[in-house]
Chains A and B, each alone.
Chain A
């Protein structure tokens, strides 16, 4: 199972706990994980990436295995530890705004 940790406001919007688990077959990329999140939680469409451009919202970041993966290609494989479920993909809000 892929584990994903959502920022607090998106947990509230999706009415879920801090961590969600997704069953994904085959390659595990940012795009595939985000597709799976949006399929299970349609209310999150547009909140992590723009619905039209598919661009990551600039004040959200993707971390895993102590790396910032935000600028990786959405089609690049995520680290093996994420794909195996050993480590979570962390989606978090940047320290910005007010």
Chain B
């Protein structure tokens, strides 16, 4: 029988939640790396026993961890992230030039085919790759060097590269997103990059339709439809049907189009999920009601999913890397909150139940669907 393993990164360690395919009874293991911030944990699609974790702290900087047994044991691997060549400057919050400085790894994206290959999205924004299981890291520097880098400016959370999407149908194509620079794409394996932000409008930058400067919070893509992208921007939920060449708004009936997460149903490429958040200053759900919104029409028409979720006095946030879907026949949806709850739905979002209620603030949620 199939199993699922939910990999949870929190402010104070990592946790692994496991269940059989019914997703009714859960075992919780952890904390791993207790006391450290775990921005992301993700498994290799090519070898589910190979996991990577980003471990960091304000005291001791960045550590990278690797597991070869599905998370039972871990070993530290390489943590040297050196920008290629002259690091240069980006814009600081006040618009002045600021040197590029490595701070932490936000997101890990293992190769679809090689367990030893993994990408890391870092703050200050850059993309690194390891081809030796995380022992050494090299920057794909043409992303920062393609021309707009000096104009990138950090969002409130830092100048972070938080989204990396690999295209199973085209090994040369990678999408990434940076807060607050926007979305970028390479079609030649990372040698050249270009911004893909046409159609985005952001009132918080001097030119709302500028080529870069947009605070993209998350992009999701169904692996079976690689040209279709869904984006949760700082404000606005957006869609592209041409691999990011152009975007159109699909916020439609949402109670708020601010939010962080967005994801796509495993088997229905037009079914997407967001968690509306009241505003960019409040960072909690509208009306104190935690609602996932689902669109079965690829956007614009949204329905609230509330069964099993708190519908009063709820003021948690759901951060950008904290939603994932499994690939079981009845698609499971998972998300974690800053209040330490991890919620699961085994029926595409119709009903929800907490797997755990009292973890540290959740930074990331990933799911492995295991045979």
Contacts and interface: CB of A to CB of B under 8 A. Distances in A.
Interface residues of A, number: 22
Contacts of B35: 8-9
Tier of interface size on chain B = 10 to 19
Interface string B51-63: 0000001111111
B79 interface: yes
Given A9-B35, A45-B79, A46-B79, A57 B63 contact: no
Interface-central residue, A7, A12, A51, A59, by most chain B CB under 10 Å: A51
Contact of B58 (A13, A46, A97): A97
Interface in B304-351: none
Contacts, number: 49
Nearest to A7: B59
Given A9-B35, A9-B36, A59 B80 contact: no
Contact of A60 (B36, B59, B62): B59
A94 interface: yes
Nearest to B82: A52
Contacts of A46: 61-63, 79-80
Contact of A9 (B57, B79, B80, B82): B57
Nearest to A53: B101
B82 A59 contact: no
A48 B80 contact: no
Contact of A47 (B34, B61, B82, B102): B61
B76 interface: yes
Contacts of B34: 12
B76 A43 contact: yes
A50 B81 CA distance: 10
B257 to A, nearest CB: 31
A97 B79 contact: no
Interface of B: 34-36, 57-63, 76, 79-80, 82, 102
